[in-house]
Amino acid sequence: MNEACIHVDWGIDGLRYALEYKHIVIIVDTLRFSSAVVTAVANGFTVYPTGDPQKGVGMAPYLGAEVAGHAPGSRYSLSPRDYLKGPPDANKKVVLVSPNGAACAEIIDTGDTAYIGCLLNARSVGDHVSREARDTGQNVTVIAAGEQRAIDTGERIVYDRKAAQRVFAVEDYLAAGACISFSSLKRTPEAEVCAMAFTAACTKMDILLRESFSGQYLAEHDLSEDIAHAAQLNKYTVVPRVENGEITAV
């Protein structure tokens, strides 16, 4: 048996390629899907991901779940801070809509092995997939979800909602590097460079996340606290797994 190794790839196309070759995958969408999922699951939530808001609204009644950010009066959104507190009788089933990370998680099928990772749980998810890869002989691919193309108008950040492609997102690349750096698997050259980028950047992670396109967009919408939360390294030990359309703790 060949030694299992860890790779890095990009977006839905990279995810589909990894799944075709039966890789274990870690989906990383730092601002904000992965950070919201890790925080939610660490606090007892079950998450149902979708990239389609209308589909999410239709799913929720069947699942007995709330739609994050789309149902009138919903108490939940893509903000990870929404899952930190609440009444003890709160509904902890949430349909989480996101055009990047949730769109990736949504295509995970029966027989696939997929986890959600970010800076918040990098060590735990890196450790977990390392053990599983050695046990199964499977390779691992960390998927940086990417972002919709952003345009700086000089006054604010605007996303091109019509564009189908996903482009480089530095926050996803750095968090992917964190997950890789905490794994003990053999690294491809691409994965090694990604881990090195994280190591070089870890002392100024909060600044880099804030100055990214995604970070600037969140700051413009008074969501800077979401960036600060997402920038925390290894805050949680939870490892969320995507299985049968839902995300729960391993």
Q: What is the pLDDT of residues 88-100, one digit of tens each?
A: 778 899 999 998 9
Quote the CA–CA distance of 211 and 218 in Å, as a whole number: 10
The answer to the question of residue 247 being in a domain is no
Q: Which residues of 184-245 form beta strands (DSSP E)?
A: 186-187, 240-243
pLDDT value of residue 157: 66
Residue 37 forms part of a structural domain: yes
The string of pLDDT tens digits covering residues 21-57 is: 999 999 999 999 999 999 999 999 999 999 999 999 9
248, part of any domain: no
For the record, the structure tokens of 202 come out as: 């870890």
The domain total for the chain is 1
Check residue 2 and give its pLDDT: 79
Mean pLDDT of 238-242: 98
Which residue is listed with tokens 């949680």? 236
Specify if 192 maps to a domain: yes
Q: What pLDDT score does 147 carry? A: 82
pLDDT of residue 242: 98
pLDDT at residue 21 in the model: 97
Specify the pLDDT at position 239.
Answer: 98
pLDDT of residue 160: 67
- Which sign, positive or negative, has the C-alpha torsion 191, 134, 47, 178? negative
The answer to whether residue 250 is domain-embedded is no
**Domain that residue 44 falls in:** 5-242
Q: Please report, rounded to a whole number, the percentage of residues in the chain having pLDDT higher than 70.
A: 92
Give dist(CA 219, CA 31) in Å, integer.
Answer: 12
Write out pLDDT tens, residues 162-204.
555 667 899 999 999 999 999 999 999 999 999 999 999 999 9
Percent above pLDDT 90 for the chain: 82
pTM of the model: 0.93
206 inside domain: yes
Residues 6+ positions from 23 with CB-CB distance below 8 Å: 7, 138, 139, 140, 141
Whether the pLDDT of residue 71 is over 90: the answer is no
Q: Is 90 exceeded by the pLDDT of residue 82?
A: yes
The domain that holds 130 is classified in CATH as 3.90.1560.10
Query: Quick check: is 189 in a domain?
Result: yes
